[in-house]
Amino acid sequence: MVIDRRRYARVVVLTGAGVSAASGLRTYRGPGGVWEEHDVERLGHVSALTERPADVWRLFGGLRQSVLAARPNPAHDALARWQAELAQGQELLLVTQNVDGLHQMAGSRNVCEIHGNVLHSRCGSPDCTLAQFRDEDPHTSAVPSCPLCRTAVRPDVVLFGEELPALPSWTAKRALRDCDLFLAIGTSGSVAPASSYVRGAEYAGARTVYINLEPMKDPNPAFQEVYIGRAEELLPQLLGM
């Protein structure tokens, strides 16, 4: 089975942690997953920023170090190449739940990072004017503080209990409204709101495809097609590359 890329004018691709597994990055759920080792309620929730900021930095600082050592794999490369080979009048929006920046490193453009980027930090105060900035320091030994207001600085990732960043979230929803092909790749489909994007795509009349190492725990009937396997192997095949 091959997806004929010439047939689709408005494509939305949603990626999750499974796409970066072959780059050596851990997924969140399942064996060896981040939330298998750490309690998601304890460290993945926004309340952890005030209750245990040093633990939050130990976790995300560690992820930051892994991300700095990681490189794109054939799944990232296939998506970047697809975007580079679009014909006139075709659009592809890449929406990612990943915070690793590997799609951009592979050459993808206009990536919607709906969960932020772990290589960025920002002041924890919503009132502070400090701009979000690239930060390669893992801060695993001390919590950094804002040079302007002294509030604790935090990794720029979306934690449970927080709103998604407005622009990427709005851009994704707008593209879903009239897409004709929707692919979800390497995601367990268990985290809202990305887990319901497929329903928006189905409503728009799109072909909906799920590509993942394992079937969804609660299969989503909005997916018309399911391909089980490794994204780095399946994706180049499905896209005929």
Report the catalytic residues.
Answer: 115
The reply on whether position 231 binds ligand OAD by CB under 6 A is yes
In the region spanning residues 32 to 91, those forming contacts with ligand OAD, defined by CB under 6 A, are 33, 44
The reply on whether position 226 binds ligand OAD by CB under 6 A is no
Interacting span for ligand OAD (CB under 6 A) from 14-22, 119-127, 133-141, 171-179: 14-22
Residue window 158-197: x/- pattern of binding to ligand OAD, with contact defined by CB under 6 A:
x---------------------------xxx-xx------
Q: Other CB atoms closer than 10 Å to residue 196's CB: what's the count? A: 13
CA distances from 130 to 64, 153, 238 (A): 21, 10, 44
One DSSP character per residue, 184-209 reads EES--S-STTGGGHHHHHHHTT-EEE
**For 97, phi and psi rounded to 5 degrees?**
-90, -5
Interacting span for ligand OAD (CB under 6 A) from 5-13, 48-56, 131-139, 211-219: 211-219
Instruction: Report, in Å, the least distance between residue 125 CB and ligand OAD.
Output: 20
Give the orientation angle of helix 231-238 with respect to helix 74-84, to 10 degrees.
Answer: 30
The nearer residue to ligand OAD, 213 or 226, going by C-beta atoms, is 213
The tokens for 198 are 């497929």
Residue 197 region by backbone torsions, left for phi larger than 0, else alpha for psi between -120 and 50, else beta: alpha
Residue window 116-155: x/- pattern of binding to ligand OAD, with contact defined by CB under 6 A:
----------------------------------------
The tokens for 13 are 């691709």
The nearer residue to ligand OAD, 190 or 196, going by C-beta atoms, is 190
What sections of 27-160 are H helices per DSSP? Answer: 34-37, 40-43, 48-51, 53-69, 74-84, 102-106
| Residues making contact with ligand OAD (CB under 6 A) | 16-18, 21-22, 27-30, 33, 44, 97, 99, 115, 157-158, 186-188, 190-191, 212-214, 230-232
